[in-house]
Structure 1
Amino acid sequence: MQTIDALKAHRSIRKYKNQKVEEQLLNSILEAGCRASTTGNMQVYSIIATTAEKIKAELAPAHFNQPGVLQAPVILTFCADFNRFNKWCKQRKAEPGYDNFLSFMTAAIDALLVAQNVCIAAEAKGLGICYYGTTTYNAQKIIDVLKLPKGVVPITTVTLGYADEQPELTDRLPLEAVIHHDTYKDYSPEDIDRIYQEKENNPKYQNFVKENNKETLAQVFTDVRYKKSDNEHFSNELMKVLKNQGFL
């Protein structure tokens, strides 16, 4: 499959066959993933590949017990990691200055770049993947389970395996919603109406509105799925993690 075709065919897979991913195939995918761009060629990330059922079971609560975490043969946790780089610096008579938020952002970007590369490589090899945004919600629980030292923070989790479903493609906003030419062009009320019209008219989302007793789809996001109180709570928890892990 051509790369651009694979990208356009992306689906989030939440049901997996009871079939192991061969070690050679997994290593090939991870090797391709690690060719991702990285700041200063430092590679300030680590990938925890979890296949043990016991560890997957311990990770599941951190991901709100979503079935795919237990069902997928491989769980990949992508981490911002300055621990390794700091140790290298100290062993080579160099004093690292990476205990700050900028360094966390550098490492988080590295981790996300390699995660996306891994996902593209996996899908090109016929495997299914799914991102889990719950990683930053419950970062401390994941740190405890995976025994992550200071300087290491989990950024995202990806389940990987052979798909046992073929869901429809998820809708996306039109290009005009996200592409700005030369400079940022702010959105008029008419732009917003046009950009979100197809999404709001989608029967699936109209059902979401009814099921949640809301007036608009936007209210489903603000009042149910991603509430201000939850955002503030998990923000505070993440800031504690960054402090405990040596980035603040």
Structure 2
Amino acid sequence: MALIDTLLNHRTIRKYTSEPVAEPLLNKILEAGTRASTTGNMQVYSIIVSKDQKMKDKLAPCHFNQPMIKEAPVVLTFCADFNRFNKWCNLRNAEPGYDNFLSFVTAAIDALLVAQNVCVAAESEGMGICYLGTTTYLAKNIIDVLELPKGVVPITTVTLGWPDENPEQVDRLPLESLIHSETYHDYSDEDIDRMYAEKEAREDSKGFVAENNKENLAQVFTDVRYKKTDNVTFSNMLLEVLREQGFMNQ
């Protein structure tokens, strides 16, 4: 399968067979990940590979006990990591100045770029993956479980293994909704209605609205899935993690 077909056929896999991922193949995929673009060729990220069942059991509560954490043969935690780079600078009589929010953003971008490379490489080999957006919610818990030192913050988690399901692709907004030519063109009410019409008309979307007793799909997001109170709570928790891990100094 051509690479572009791998990308176009992406599916989120939450159920995996018990077949392990061979170490040479996993290393090949991780090596492909490390070829991702990186700011200034600093590679300010680390990947924690979790295959031991006891460790996956410890990680599961950090991700609200989503079952794929325990069931996937491999769990990858991608971290923003200036710890290694800072140590190198200090050993070379170079004063690091990376204890700030901009440096965290730089390292977070690096971590996400390598994570996407890993995911595409895994899918090109016939494996399935699932991104977990819960990583930054309970980052402090993950830091404790994985024994992450100062200068290291978990950014995203990916489960990886051989698929035990073939789900339908989830919907995506039409291309015109996402692409702007030359400058940003803001959306009219009519644009929004047109661009979200297909998503709102889907049977699964209607089901979400009905089961949550809401008027429309947007309210499912604002009132149930990603509530402001939760956003504020987890934002404050993440900011505290950044302070504790040394990324909020002035």
Equivalent in the alignment of 1:206: 206
- Structure-to-structure mapping, 1:164-179, within 5 angstroms: 164-179=164-179
Q: Give 1:95 shift.
A: 0.3
Q: TM-score, normalised by structure 1?
A: 1.00
Equivalent in the alignment of 1:82: 82
Distance 1:231 1:32 in 2: 34
Please tell me the residue identity of whatever aligns with 1:2. Answer: A
Equivalent in the alignment of 1:246: 246
- Structure-to-structure mapping, 1:138-157, within 5 angstroms: 138-157=138-157
SS in 1 for 2:208: helix
Distance 1:133 1:204 in 2: 21
Please tell me the residue identity of whatever aligns with 2:224. Answer: V
Distance 1:114 1:208 in 2: 33
Instruction: Tell me the alpha carbon deviations over residues 68-102 of structure 1, each in whole angstroms, 9 at most, x when there is no partner.
Output: 00000000000000000000000000000000000
Matched, 1:227 2:201: no
Matched, 1:45 2:45: yes
Please tell me the residue identity of whatever aligns with 2:55. Answer: I
Matched, 1:24 2:29: no
Matched, 1:132 2:132: yes
Instruction: Tell me the alpha carbon deviations over residues 162-211 of structure 1, each in whole angstroms, 9 at most, x when there is no partner.
Output: 00000001110000111000000000000000000000000110010000
SS in 2 for 1:6: helix
Q: Give 1:221 shift.
A: 0.2
Q: Give 1:60 shift.
A: 0.1
Distance 1:22 1:9 in 2: 24
Q: Give 1:62 shift.
A: 0.6
Gaps of 5+ in 1: none
Gaps of 5+ in 2: none
Distance 2:75 2:203 in 1: 33
Q: TM-score, normalised by structure 2?
A: 0.99
Equivalent in the alignment of 2:94: 94
Distance 2:66 2:150 in 1: 28
SS in 2 for 1:79: strand
Q: Give 1:10 shift.
A: 0.4
Distance 2:62 2:136 in 1: 10
Q: Give 1:144 shift.
A: 0.3
Please tell me the residue identity of whatever aligns with 1:168. Answer: E
* Alignment RMSD: 0.3
Q: Give 1:31 shift.
A: 0.3
Q: Give 1:225 shift.
A: 0.3
Equivalent in the alignment of 1:12: 12
Distance 1:186 1:56 in 2: 44
Give the paired residue count: 248
Please tell me the residue identity of whatever aligns with 1:213. Answer: N
Please tell me the residue identity of whatever aligns with 1:88. Answer: W
Distance 2:143 2:55 in 1: 12
Distance 1:197 1:206 in 2: 12
Distance 2:179 2:142 in 1: 35
Please tell me the residue identity of whatever aligns with 1:107. Answer: A
Instruction: Tell me the alpha carbon deviations over residues 214-236 of structure 1, each in whole angstroms, 9 at most, x when there is no partner.
Output: 00100000000000000000000
